[in-house]
Amino acid sequence: MEERNIEIDLTALQAILGVNFKDTDLLLSAITHRSYLNEHRDATWEHNERLEFLGDAVLELVVTDFLFSTYSDKPEGELTAIRAALVNTISLSVASEQLGVNQYLLMSKGEAKDEGRARQYILANVFEACIGAIYLDQGYDTARDFIAQRLFSQTEEIIKQRLWQDAKSRFQELAQEHASITPTYETVSQEGPDHDRVFTIGVYLKREKVAEGIGRSKQEAEQQAAHSAIIAKGWN
């Protein structure tokens, strides 16, 4: 019965992704969190970490090519910052939510209860894993078109709102301007093995925790926290 439900889910998932897979096991792996296999030892497919690794590389190439071709007047440093804003955890998790991927995730009961930043990270990983699966099954052009439809429309808003700027530097400027306070950052939690560590960082104005950020490094998490803090304070 479980396998039949998975087949139905995969059919619906292919419809929302807009891709008909030749090998649906790739898609099944893309939506499978490592924790699911720990509770389902009889599963015959892999979790999504290898596909996520591949999808991350495809995503970076596609976005880099798009930015290089579209914004010929911008220098390398600015293009790098815009790319980082376009493919960060928040952007990718939002793209997953907009697709409706959330309801198809296979994970342990414990992981399924996670909300907030932890869920954002899982959704972002699944988005990259789906890209990896599409690339393997359909090729580069289909993967590029999938990414273009879900992410490229955000680029103009990122540039208009200057969201590509270093968020920590920008938040510090704004905090000094509005509150005469220098922000501080503290590690809220860190999870996962050494090769796949996830950090949650809080940003504070004195004792007030303004926002949190999540990332694969403390630097990335701090940038995410600063970006969220600017929005939380309405300083954007």
N residues, the chain: 236
Put the strands of the sheet holding 208-215 in their side by side order: 184-191, 198-205, 208-215
- State the Cα–Cα distance between residues 114 and 41, nearest whole angstrom: 22
227 in Cβ contact with 215 (< 8 Å): no
Q: Which residues form the catalytic set?
A: 56, 128
Furthest C-alpha separation in the chain: 61
Helices (H), 40-186: 49-70, 76-86, 89-99, 109-112, 117-138, 140-151, 155-160, 167-179
Angle at 125 between CA 122 and CA 126, to 5 degrees: 85
**Dist CA 95 CA 17 (whole Å):** 11
Q: What's the pLDDT at 132?
A: 98
Q: Which residue has the tokens 């396998």?
A: 3
User: What is the band of 1 on the pLDDT scale with cuts at 50, 70, 90?
Assistant: very low
- Percent over 70 (pLDDT), the chain: 91
Six token digits for residue 161: 């709102």
Instruction: Give mean pLDDT, residues 65-87.
Output: 92
Distance from chain centroid for Cα 114 = 16
Give the pLDDT band (50/70/90) at residue 137: very high
Angle formed by the axes of helices 117-138 and 89-99, nearest 10°: 70
Distance CA 11, CA 7 (A): 6
Stretch 152-176: mean pLDDT? 83
Q: What is the mean pLDDT of residues 178-201?
A: 90
The answer to whether 2-160 and 167-233 have equal CATH topology is no
The pLDDT mean for the chain works out to 88
| Low-confidence winner among 78-82, 86-90, 116-120, 220-224 (lowest mean pLDDT) | 116-120
Whole-prediction pTM value?
Answer: 0.72
**What would the pLDDT profile of 84-108 be if each residue is shown by its tens digit?**
888 988 889 889 999 998 888 998 7
Query: Per residue in 56-69, pLDDT tens?
Result: 999 999 999 999 99
Residue 3 confidence class, pLDDT cut points 50, 70, 90: very low
Q: So what's the pLDDT on residue 103?
A: 85
CATH of domain 2-160: 1.10.1520.10
How many other β-carbons are positioned within 10 Å of the β-carbon of residue 118?
A: 16
> In 3D, which of 69, 138, 60 has the Cα closest to residue 92?
60
pLDDT higher than 60, residue 2: no
Domain 167-233 CATH class label: alpha beta
Question: 197: pLDDT confidence band, cut at 50, 70 and 90?
Answer: confident
Domain ranges in the chain are 2-160, 167-233
Terminal-to-terminal C-alpha distance of the chain: 50
